[in-house]
Chains A and B, each alone.
Chain A
Amino acid sequence: MHELAITESIVAAVTEKLPGAPIRRVCVEVGELSGVVPDALRFCFELACAGTTLEGASLDIVRMPGRGQCQSCSAEFDTTDFLVLCACGSAEVTVLGGRELRIREVEVV
């Protein structure tokens, strides 16, 4: 359940950046290959926000697509699977995108 620690990190980062500012909405980017489950984030978010300036804030999650590049044939492709096989059969795939865990923006009341 590392999503709890992730939501705590979101709350800590926002309250540190914007001390005292009441927050209406938080928008985060969560990559499809990041190992973080959006539903679990939402589940923990309300709990993590209680008693802070984020209490009652909504959480927008923007899913960032997984993207890989084959090291054998150089093809680039989308993927939602951490275990990527290129169409050419190679398993040597470099992940180009999809590992994002970023706070994009917040809305202050």
Chain B
Amino acid sequence: MCATCGCSGGGVRVTDPAHRHDHHHPHSHEHGHGHSHDHSHDHDHDHSHDHDHGHPHEHSHDERPRGHTVLLEQQILAKNDNLAAENRRWLADRRIRAINLMSSPGAGKTTLLERTLADLAGTLPVAVLEGDQETLLDADRITAAGARVVQINTGAGCHLDAEMVRHGLDTLDPQPGSLLFVENVGNLVCPALFDLGEAAKVVIASTTEGEDKPVKYPHMFASADLVLLNKIDLLPYLVFDVTRWQTAVGRINTGAQVLQISATTGVGLDDWYRWLRALG
């Protein structure tokens, strides 16, 4: 494991399952394993002064010369945000609508995609960027469902960022005018902070997770343009108060649209497709 960032050796891998060769895209932060700076510590303390403490000492308490302060006033995520803005322009130039799909692991992102691909087949060109820490399992499921897909494996990474999506787009080369689903790494925390250049963020919750998820993970639900409640076909077997869940979403995000669906039975999916088409 890399000591700088914890990424696993080769870093991020982008794989076109149709070709099965990896493109290794270590992130661009400088690992600097060369350790080129020297440790000579040539402090220019002048210790010739007498220590009678009759005059104020110039040097700071840590015995190092005072440095000079440089104002930066810069957003910490500026680099990601700029890359995301480039992705957004690139996608807009090709009339590609990108949707960032986020949820906890197991909420049904891939199942919803499989069903969506089957139902939209022949009406709309659809492509998929799959994000997971490891394996090509989801890419294989999307390939089987008939769509063009590229898998991004983040290794130790817990979310997709704009640079990974850039590399994914280069490999995927989605058709102009298409709908692009970006399935983020299953995680209700970290993906909320990273703009990918998408047109909309969709957060999927599911009835098996409990109705308090929106208030437990407010950042994720606050970022959503659309919140889906999946697995509503299981409601007869669960203790899940839909009204309570909806109230929780409303407390976090007053602007988000909410739809109740079942990716397995297809209930509510017409509303989902209407929402997708209305994206323009």
Contact = CB atoms under 8 A, between A and B. Distances in A.
Nearest to A20: B37
Interface string B67-103: 1111111111111100000000000000000000000
A102 B70 contact: no
A8 B30 CA distance: 9
A53 B158 CA distance: 26
A2 B252 CA distance: 21
B76 A91 contact: no
Contacts of A6: 76-77, 193
Residue among A25, A51, A83 with max Cβ neighbours from chain B (10 Å):
A51
A104 B73 contact: yes
A70 B250 CA distance: 15
Majority secondary structure of chain A interface residues (helix, strand, loop or mixed): mixed
B239 to A, nearest CB: 23
Interface residues of B, number: 47
A109 B33 contact: no
Contacts of B176: none
Majority secondary structure of chain B interface residues (helix, strand, loop or mixed): loop
A105 B71 CA distance: 4
B64 A5 contact: no
Nearest to B221: A82
A2 B193 contact: yes
Interface string B8-45: 00000000000000000001111111110100000000
A108 B37 contact: no
Contact of B29 (A12, A101, A103): A12
B70 A91 contact: no
Contacts of B161: 5
A18 B193 contact: no
B72 A13 contact: yes
A18 to B, nearest CB: 7
Contact of A83 (B35, B80, B189, B251): B251
Interface residues of A, number: 42
B37 to A, nearest CB: 7
Interface in A1-25: 1-2, 4-6, 8-18, 22, 24-25
Contacts of A1: 158, 190
A47 interface: yes
B3 interface: yes
Interface in A41-69: 47-48, 50-53, 55
Given A13-B78, A83-B251, A92-B254, A5 B159 contact: yes
Nearest to A26: B72
Interface of B: 3-6, 27-35, 37, 64-65, 67-80, 157-159, 161, 189-190, 192-194, 215, 218-219, 222, 250-252, 254
List 10 tightest A-B contacts by C-beta distance, closest first: A2-B190, A51-B32, A35-B219, A107-B67, A82-B218, A101-B76, A24-B67, A12-B29, A103-B72, A109-B67
Interface of A: 1-2, 4-6, 8-18, 22, 24-25, 28, 35-36, 47-48, 50-53, 55, 82-83, 91-92, 101-109
